[in-house]
Amino acid sequence: MVAKLIDGHVQALLLYREIAAQVENFKAAKGYTPGLAVVLVGDNPSSQIYVENKRKACAQVGITSQVHHLPKTASQEEIIRKINTLNADEAIHGILIQLPLPESIDGLSVISAVAPHKDVDGLHPLNLGLLFMGRPNLIPCTPLACRHLIKSVLPSLKGKCAVIVGRSFLVGRPLGVLLSFENATVVQAHSHTANLVEECRRADILVVAAGSPRLITKEHVKQGAVVIDVGITRGTDSKGSKHIMGDVDFEEVQEVASYLTPVPGGVGPMTIAYLLQNTLTAAQKS
């Protein structure tokens, strides 16, 4: 078996079209455009690339965007003051804090300062709590992206075994909740899981969000499983060229999986598409 590719760019483009049409309708009805503010602290090169990609994506669907770049020396109070200004700004419907923040900053305090109705990353404790209680408001973008990609090839998850490698509050845990609401049986594996191969081999759907390049090989994957690779690790090869590695050994796993996402070009583009969707949703609810 050679796995079919789940193309994140194609899926994202389809969603962009729907969002752009809805943004047009929104503008016609309200007379203003949905607005996103991105807060970037410091000069992490990867974060700068992500922020630029988000800015371009907003422009593609007609969402207004602003980038607020604070120096890496900015204090927690300064960051929260900036967020408070954006919370009060009626032209801004979504606020995204680009992660990671510098180590000296308490991320939870900063995320909690975002008004929950503008929290387009879905990471505010209130929004995560609502999600866990089955009454979601704004849901984190990467889990939404994973669910979308899975359902593009497997419309019903009822009774399927979904194994998620990773239990971060950003990806693994909220995704576990989403898939459990889809009536999948969810196994949450992590760095202390006793036998990762055995757990993974049970999966009809295997999602890997560990940040550990090529952690998942052929032996982890049941014949015919759907495999979603969330991992992004930036590296440099022996010739000095930069590249991005996923958590799945693509060449090996494509021999046994039925469907597989590439890295890059899988979960990444879809995550940005859901940031746009969440910004539109926040504007519609405002």
Active-site residues, by number, are 54, 98, 121
CB 22 → ligand NAD: shortest distance, Å? 22
CB 260 → ligand NAD: shortest distance, Å? 14
* Stretch binding ligand NAD (CB under 6 A), from 52-60, 152-160, 164-172, 197-205: 164-172
Tell me if 167 contacts ligand NAD by CB under 6 A.
yes
Q: Alpha-carbon distance 230 to 223, whole Å? A: 20
Residue of 110, 147, 135 whose CA lies nearest to 226: 147
Cβ(122)–Cβ(174) under 8 Å? yes
Cβ-based neighbours of 56, under 8 Å, separated by 6 or more: none
CB 88 → ligand NAD: shortest distance, Å? 29
CB 236 → ligand NAD: shortest distance, Å? 16
Instruction: Report how many residues bind ligand NAD under the rule CB under 6 A.
Output: 25
Tell me if 46 contacts ligand NAD by CB under 6 A.
no
CA atoms within 13 A on the CB side of 164: 26
**Cβ neighbourhood burial of 285 (10 Å; 0-12, 13-18, 19+):** exposed
Tell me if 19 contacts ligand NAD by CB under 6 A.
no
What are 167's two structure tokens? 């239990």
Tell me if 8 contacts ligand NAD by CB under 6 A.
no
Tell me if 163 contacts ligand NAD by CB under 6 A.
no
| Secondary structure (3-state) at 272 | helix
Among 209, 216, 260, 282, binds ligand NAD (CB under 6 A): 209
Tell me if 70 contacts ligand NAD by CB under 6 A.
no
Residues between 133 and 162 with contacts to ligand NAD, criterion CB under 6 A: 142
Instruction: Give the number of other Cβ atoms within 10 Å of residue 128's Cβ.
Output: 22
**Cβ neighbourhood burial of 282 (10 Å; 0-12, 13-18, 19+):** buried
Tell me if 267 contacts ligand NAD by CB under 6 A.
yes
Q: Which residues bind ligand NAD (CB under 6 A)?
A: 142, 165-168, 170-172, 189-191, 193, 196, 209-212, 215, 230-233, 267-268, 271
